[in-house]
């Protein structure tokens, strides 16, 4: 294997680690904040979550397909291989659930900030959006976990 392939593999693993770790961290901290029921805590944590998603997750989301395609080419793996095709499909699934989550996080942050300014409890809309956010996390995170498994095992999958 060439030095270039090693660098691509390293960058791809770092990107996957960032996606997995940031996703898990964001989910944990926003869940813990939500459980307090305190608008000031939810507002602060949701604000941090939005920033973390913009810096870490969005960067990894862009870098992963680039490093993955370059790595596949360097290794001589056709993108038509079953495990690669399934990985790309799962990546699209994760993205389909992640994109609305980004908007929901911003809305949760804004509603919690509103509650802080007004001295009010978290509004019902915020609680409803959190439930949707939480539910969307399962398929998105599950898809990322499955992609990690596919990357490591590279099973023979026929289509």
Looking at residue 118, its pLDDT comes to 98
Residue 124 in any domain: the answer is yes
Read off the tokens for 118. Answer: 């007004």
From CA 91, how far away is CA 85, in angstroms rounded? 10
What is the per-residue pLDDT across 51-83, written as a single tens digit (0 to 9) for each? 999 999 999 999 999 999 999 999 999 999 999
- Asked if residue 147 lies in contact with residue 85, where contact means CB atoms within 8 angstroms, the answer is no
Tell me which residues of the chain have a pLDDT lower than 70: none
Which domain, by its residues, includes 43? 3-153
Residue 158 in any domain: the answer is no
Looking at residue 91, its pLDDT comes to 97
Number of domains in the chain: 1
Looking at residue 17, its pLDDT comes to 96
Looking at residue 1, its pLDDT comes to 78
């Amino acid at each position: 294997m060439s030095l270039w392939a090693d660098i691509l593999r390293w960058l791809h693993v770092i990107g996957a680690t960032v996606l997995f770790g940031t996703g898990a961290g964001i989910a944990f901290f926003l869940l813990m904040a939500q459980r307090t029921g305190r608008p000031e805590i939810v507002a602060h944590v949701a604000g941090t979550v939005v920033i973390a998603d913009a810096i870490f997750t969005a960067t990894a989301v862009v870098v992963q397909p680039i490093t993955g395609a370059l790595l596949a080419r360097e290794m001589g793996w056709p993108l038509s291989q079953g495990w690669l095709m399934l990985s790309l499909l799962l990546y699209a699934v994760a993205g389909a659930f992640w994109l609305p989550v980004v908007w929901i996080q911003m809305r949760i942050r804004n509603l919690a900030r509103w509650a802080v300014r007004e001295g009010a409890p978290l509004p019902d809309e915020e609680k409803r959006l959190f439930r949707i956010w939480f539910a969307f996390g399962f398929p998105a995170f599950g898809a990322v976990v499955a992609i990690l498994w596919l990357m490591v095992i590279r099973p023979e999958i026929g289509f």
